[in-house]
Amino acid sequence: MTKQRSRIACALALLAALPAAAFAQPHGGFDLDRDVNPESAPLREPIARQQPAGHGAPAVRNPHAVRGSYGWNNGIVWLPSPLYWGGGFWGPFALAELTSTPRFGSLADPQGSIEPSYQVDADSPGAQFLQDYGLAQTPCGQPSLVVIWGPAGSAICALPNALVAAGTYKTDPAAFALVLAPL
Amino acid sequence: MDCALSLRHLTSSIHATLAALVFATGAANAEGTARIQQSDGSIKVYRDVRLVLTRWTLWVRTADRQGVLEVVSQACSFENQIQRCLPFKLTLHQAGKRLPIALEYGTVYMNFSDAVHRLPHVADRLGPGEALVLLRTRRGTYVSVAGRLDGVT
């Protein structure tokens, strides 16, 4: 994601290039007075969206997943982070910046609300997930696609292939697998 | 003092105690550097900050022990042996108070391997046991912390 790369590069340049000696060493802890002002806007609460149920539904086994719960993540439990689209599964897309992120199609959720979709970051768990299944992401909104509901009410779409037929699925982050989730 | 206020005070005390406990052990060999850039461009540099990781939370304490930043993350995944987490909660423990800070976005990188690894997307590298924190608050303040983890519990 270009924006993310740019942000990281800028921050790192700041870290490396600033003449630290030019700044007085502050005393009495961190100076974040402006940020702890009680008049600050409250934290943005994540929007809870209902996803397709899919409990007990058949899974499409991930042919490349490492064995064991969260084996794909070195055994570290993956949990969604509330400030990011899809909890961060599809990449570090901050909810605060989504309005300036180009959409990659949209689709209706089980309640009929239109949900925007975005292009998966190449270095995200979601990109690895798609790669494991040999799926290529495509903009949502066309018929006969693989629709994948990810964490935190996010959704992306892919072209069907020999392993995954067109339909609606949800992700199982522990097994790193697709679970059939008919609407 | 009403019940809600008492409970809030108790919760605040517990967090302050926890923050103190996190830094109560271990040698004082803090080598981290924190930089805070306000939205008006003013910058303050904090040397010799101490970094301690407790599960999903990274604690950053100033050298004068007067302030502790609590950075809580989730969505941790690995890339080239570097663990990348996405922070969602930022709290400043200072002057006996627990002060929430509205976070916009950020990234926490940690290298738990025995080798130096390149950070994703950029040319910089992270040595064994080192961490890099990059945050932006809703007020437009940039917080960056880089250094060796002084403790992992």
Taking only the tens place, the pLDDT of each residue in B1-21 is 444 444 444 444 555 555 555
Is A150 inside a domain boundary? yes
Plot region of A126 (φ>0 → left; ψ -120 to 50 → alpha; else → beta): alpha
Count of pairs with CB atoms under 8 A, one residue in A, one in B: 159
B122 contact residues in A (CB cutoff 8 A): 5, 8-9, 12
Q: Is the dihedral of CA A117, B139, B134, B107 positive or negative?
A: negative
Q: Which tens digit of pLDDT belongs to each residue from B74-83? A: 999 998 789 9
Q: Minimum mean pLDDT among A94-103, A135-144, B2-11, B112-121: which range? A: B2-11
Q: What's the structural domain count of chain B?
A: 1
Is A2 inside any structural domain?
A: no
Which H helix or E strand runs over A179?
strand A177-180
pLDDT of residue B4: 43
Residues 64-93 of A with CB under 8 A from B: 73-74, 76, 78-84, 87-89, 92
Which of B146 and A44 is assigned the larger pLDDT?
B146
Integer angstrom CA distances of residue A154 from A36, A48, A90, B9, B123: 31, 10, 9, 37, 31
Q: Which residues of B touch A121 (CB under 8 A)?
A: none
A6 vs B14 pLDDT, higher one: A6
Find the domain containing A126 and state its range: 51-180
- For A88, nearest residue in chain B (alpha carbons): B75
Q: What pTM does this model have?
A: 0.81
pLDDT, tens digit, for every residue of A107-146? Answer: 988 788 899 999 999 999 999 999 999 999 999 999 999 9
The shortest C-alpha distance from A143 to chain B (Å) reads 31
Q: Where are the alpha helices (DSSP H) in chain A?
A: 2-17, 125-132
Q: Share the mean pLDDT of chain B.
A: 85
Q: What H or E segment, with its residue span, contains residue B110?
A: strand B103-111
The tokens describing B13, both together, are 């005390």
The interface pTM score, or ipTM, of the predicted complex is 0.82
Q: What is the pLDDT of residue B49?
A: 97
Residue A10's pLDDT band, with cuts at 50, 70 and 90, is low
**Does position A161 have pLDDT exceeding 70, yes or no?**
yes
Structurally, chain A folds into a number of domains equal to: 1
Q: What is the pLDDT of residue A71?
A: 94
Asked if residue A101 is part of any domain, the answer here is yes
Report percent pLDDT > 90 for chain A: 61
Structural domain for B19, as ranges: 3-152
Average pLDDT over residues B101-113: 95
Whether pLDDT at B86 is above 50: yes
* pLDDT per position as a tens digit, B29-68: 668 999 999 999 999 999 999 999 998 999 999 999 999 9
